[in-house]
Amino acid sequence: MKENLNQEILDLRIFENPINPIDLIKSITSSDLNVENDPFYIVDLEDICNKHINWITKLPRVEPHYAVKCNTDSIILKLLAFLGAGFDCASKNEIQTILDLGVAPHRIIFANPCKQASFIKYANKVGVNLMTFDNENELYKIKQHHPNAKCVLRIITDDKDAICRFSMKFGADMDSSLKLIELAYKLNLDLCGVSFHVGSGQMSPEAFSESIQNARKLFDYAREKFDIRMHLLDLGGGFPGSSDSNDLFDLISRQINKSLDQFFPAEEFENLNSLNDEECKLKIIAEPGRYYACSAFTLCVNIIAKRVMNQSEQQKSQDGHDLEQKFLQPNPHPSLTIQTANKTRCIESVSCIDQNKSIMYYINDGVYASFNCLFYDHSECFPILLKDNVDDAVFYKSSIWGPTCDGLDLVCKEIYVPELETNEFMVFKDMGAYTISGAVAFNGIPLPKSIYTVSTSWKTIEAAFSNNLEEMIPFANNTSCHASAGIKFPKSLNETSEACK
Ligand code: PLP
């Protein structure tokens, strides 16, 4: 990992003011620098810094542990390490990746309730002690391979309002939780807390409150029945991260703060636990993935081919669609809006739709690569067109397909757009969560590269964190992460990516 990172040449672009990724994409695609027309990501590092500042402002009692699985981009991992976040790792590889960045093992939670035994042994060897479990068998495995682990009981949640639900696979119900607490006691394991995950893309703030309340019941049970003083509450992931989700995040964070004050009042826990024992002070963490990664990544793809179909050809193609229906997600409904770089319009306001022909576009990224989120993250992805001048254009029913030879490689089943040409680019925003981390180069098609951007306010953020680190991030007590995170800050605006090789 380290070696690869050192070899990697970072394409970092620094701007005087925060830049709109679409403006940058326009200037890149209109220059002759991208001669191959390869797909690429614009990664806005400042967006991640701003998300972090937003988090610590709105959820001051909750220490974020970034869920590495969401997007394993090495630069954003370094950045988050630098900012003082902890990490939620799901496997040996993820733990190794984070330790290789110089992050201390105590900033990692091994948050996979059903782990391979050899991964538990590895965690023991490298000093990663915090790990989740939700069943008896896992407790016996932990006892055998990491007897000094700090065990966190993952409980089931009501995740019906989430985009991706997990409760059918993970989490102990309240009855089983009582039994697991007793077993942990009998095995003399260090049961240190409770965790949950309300489902990824959770739309209901109340889901968090209910689980926080259940966690409190289990804290009380463990204390009253076995004198076990649990001191870790892990709120999991499920926080929204798209560019239009600020309001929902605000609602969720207000609800969480209210529930924490009600069920885990700071003062009460100060008194309950021995003040001399730092280890036993109440600590509240969460495992946000999507929140940090989603809006920072904008994907630009190229139209590599196109097929124009008349009405009879359209019918034939529709029959093919119907055959594949069982494999596809619930019908991605046709986009009724058209987005261009500068405006979004309702399709009803477009006067000219020609139903006599439809167009299939083939782009150089698809469901085996970035758009695997259509399957695994239940996303719907609609493009933004780079051309602005579409007011008088004729619109056609269109579909967008990935570059592989597989018929399932369908990115967008039905949209209405003006006719586009081969070699034109289109853009998909909010593409940072559960996209590139699940991508493979199927059919030998290379994955998109990343271009990272920051602006001068980067300097402000740098100054803020280095001058007043403890105040800004109360839990980032290990300031050595500055050096170990390996991010080199540009000294001046003129300094190019050379600085970050
Ligand atoms: N924690 C665990 C255990 C998860 O399984 C996941 C997602 O799969 C996350 C955190 C991150 O969830 P989100 O991206 O919704 O924040």
Residue by residue, DSSP assigns 84-114 as T-EEEE-SHHHHHHHHHTT--GGGEEE--SS
* 208-221 pLDDT tens trace: 999 999 999 999 99
What is the structure's pLDDT at 74?
92
In this prediction, residue 493 has a pLDDT band, given cuts at 50, 70 and 90, of very low
- For range 22-29, the mean pLDDT: 92
In this prediction, residue 486 has a pLDDT band, given cuts at 50, 70 and 90, of very low
- For range 370-397, the mean pLDDT: 85
pLDDT-wise least confident of 158-167, 291-300, 343-352, 475-484: 475-484
- For range 126-144, the mean pLDDT: 98
- For range 275-282, the mean pLDDT: 66
What is the structure's pLDDT at 376?
76
pLDDT-wise least confident of 58-67, 456-465, 490-499: 490-499
Q: Is the dihedral of CA 290, 174, 150, 138 positive or negative?
A: negative
What is the structure's pLDDT at 154?
97
Q: Are 152 and 234 a contacting pair, CB within 8 Å?
A: yes
251: exposed, middle or buried (C-beta count within 10 Å: 0-12, 13-18, 19+)? Answer: middle
- For range 458-486, the mean pLDDT: 41
Residue 433 has pLDDT above 90, yes or no: yes
Kindly give the distance from the C-alpha atom of residue 442 to the centroid of ligand 1, in angstroms, as a whole number.
Answer: 26
Q: Are 344 and 338 a contacting pair, CB within 8 Å?
A: yes
Nearest-CA residue for ligand 1 atom 9 is 237
Kindly give the distance from the C-alpha atom of residue 135 to the centroid of ligand 1, in angstroms, as a whole number.
Answer: 19
Q: How high is the mean pLDDT of the chain? A: 83
What is the structure's pLDDT at 316?
64
Kindly give the distance from the C-alpha atom of residue 200 to the centroid of ligand 1, in angstroms, as a whole number.
Answer: 6
Residue 90 has pLDDT above 60, yes or no: yes
What is the structure's pLDDT at 494?
28
Atom of ligand 1 nearest to the CA of 238: 15
Residues with active-site annotation: 405
* 29-74 pLDDT tens trace: 988 767 789 999 999 998 998 899 899 999 999 999 999 999 999 9
Q: Are 41 and 451 a contacting pair, CB within 8 Å?
A: yes
What is the structure's pLDDT at 348?
56
- Best residue among 200, 239, 252 to mutate for probing ligand 1's pocket (most ligand atoms within 8 Å of CB) is 200
Map out the domains of the chain with their CATH numbers.
111-288 (3.20.20.10), 297-450 (2.40.37.10)
Nearest 5°: the CA angle 11, 379, 448 is 25
- DSSP for 37-84 reads ---EEEEEHHHHHHHHHHHHHH-TTEEEEEEGGG---HHHHHHHHHHT
Kindly give the distance from the C-alpha atom of residue 8 to the centroid of ligand 1, in angstroms, as a whole number.
Answer: 28
Kindly give the distance from the C-alpha atom of residue 89 to the centroid of ligand 1, in angstroms, as a whole number.
Answer: 10
Atom of ligand 1 nearest to the CA of 132: 3
> What is the distance between the alpha carbons of residues 427 and 210, in angstroms, rounded to a whole number?
39
ipTM above 0.95, yes or no: yes
Residue 485 has pLDDT above 60, yes or no: no
Nearest-CA residue for ligand 1 atom 8 is 200
b (16+ CB within 10 A) / e for 338-377: bbbeeeeeeeeebeeeeeebbbbbbbbbbbbbbbbbbeeb
In this prediction, residue 224 has a pLDDT band, given cuts at 50, 70 and 90, of very high
Kindly give the distance from the C-alpha atom of residue 159 to the centroid of ligand 1, in angstroms, as a whole number.
Answer: 13
Atom of ligand 1 nearest to the CA of 202: 15
Top pLDDT among 181 and 316 is at: 181
Which amino acid makes up residue 193? G
Residue pointed to by tokens 């579909």: 399
Atom of ligand 1 nearest to the CA of 154: 3
- Best residue among 80, 287, 372 to mutate for probing ligand 1's pocket (most ligand atoms within 8 Å of CB) is 287
Kindly give the distance from the C-alpha atom of residue 167 to the centroid of ligand 1, in angstroms, as a whole number.
Answer: 12
- For range 136-151, the mean pLDDT: 98
Enter the DSSP assignment of 310: -
What is the structure's pLDDT at 315?
66
Half-sphere exposure of 323 (CA within 13 A, CB side): 8
Residue 443 has pLDDT above 50, yes or no: yes
Q: Are 341 and 384 a contacting pair, CB within 8 Å?
A: yes
Angle between helices 92-100 and 117-126 (to 10 degrees): 20
- DSSP for 200-236 reads EEE--THHHHHHHHHHHHHHHHHHHHH-----EEE--
Residue 321 has pLDDT above 50, yes or no: yes
Residue 334 has pLDDT above 70, yes or no: no
Q: Which helix (H) or strand (E) holds 190?
A: strand 190-195
> What is the distance between the alpha carbons of residues 186 and 423, in angstroms, rounded to a whole number?
66
Helix/strand/coil for 146: coil
Nearest-CA residue for ligand 1 atom 4 is 237
- Best residue among 197, 198, 208 to mutate for probing ligand 1's pocket (most ligand atoms within 8 Å of CB) is 197
Kindly give the distance from the C-alpha atom of residue 236 to the centroid of ligand 1, in angstroms, as a whole number.
Answer: 6
> What is the distance between the alpha carbons of residues 328 and 401, in angstroms, rounded to a whole number?
13
Residue 260 has pLDDT above 50, yes or no: yes
> What is the distance between the alpha carbons of residues 294 and 162, in angstroms, rounded to a whole number?
16
What is the structure's pLDDT at 428?
96
Please state the φ and ψ torsions of residue 309, each to the nearest 5 degrees.
-120, 140
- Ligand 1 interacting residues, C-beta cut-off 6 A: 67, 69-70, 88, 111, 197, 200, 236-239, 287-291
- Best residue among 88, 109, 159, 379 to mutate for probing ligand 1's pocket (most ligand atoms within 8 Å of CB) is 88
Query: How long, in residues, is the chain?
Result: 501
